Structure 1
Amino acid sequence: MKRDIGLAPSIQDMEAAAQAALRKLPAEFAAHLGNVVIQVQDFAEDELLAEMGIEHPFELTGVYEGLPLTERSIEHSGTMPDRIRLFRLPILLEWCERGDETFEHLVGHVLIHEIGHHFGLFDDDMHALEEQVR
């Protein structure tokens, strides 16, 4: 991704990085994402933070909103699509604090974690999936 030195990656830059990470997903996962919507915004809204018990907006880098595939039944057809939201400013802060990985890798890491929730995966499984996407 080409950008001017000194400018933080934009929402569009993060969307592009997320789409690039999606293209690297193993086919067996990508085929089951269905209509999951990926959105990027600067921060989570106060209501979501309160619902999750998070005090500071920089503490939430992403969220999966939907029903994991492991909990679905026919009764859930016709509902709104699941959504993954990535929060740009918390991700940028983490990127600056870590300093040991690329922006694209960190965006992919957060996205894969949230995709893992869609599949009902545990953290170890999410890490294994992330290794496949690297």
Structure 2
Amino acid sequence: MAPDGRKDRWMERRTDGKTYGRMDGQSQNNIPLPMAGDNNNEIRAYASFSKTPISERNVDTFFSNITISMNMLSVSIYISMNMLSISKYISMNMLSVSKYISMNMLSASKYKEQIKLVTRDICKTWIPPLPLPLIL
């Protein structure tokens, strides 16, 4: 357990300025963590809040996982941008189609009004036929 009572800490800084950590299987030790530049052949890189060191064979996997996650993020951003542009395109097309339909309906209503006016004029000037008994 760390001096402040937390159990999940794997690294702590003491008053002497050095960084100490717990290795797997040990509850506490006073071994400073090896830093880069120390005369130590075994430099361990610790993942954040993890007690297991990343060995050299896992470093490539670690960075390839980061690369894969970055690629997946860029692919998802690309897909979302494409979906956004497709939805904008569809909405613009729907807007233009609705404008076209409304313009056609408006012109059809104007055309219908013109037909009414023409038929009214024809009915005014049209002479009805004489009844058949009057012709005989």
TM range (shorter): under 0.3
TM normalised by structure 1 equals 0.18
> Larger relative contact order (C-alpha < 8 A, sep ≥ 6)?
1
Tell me the TM-score normalized by structure 2.
0.18
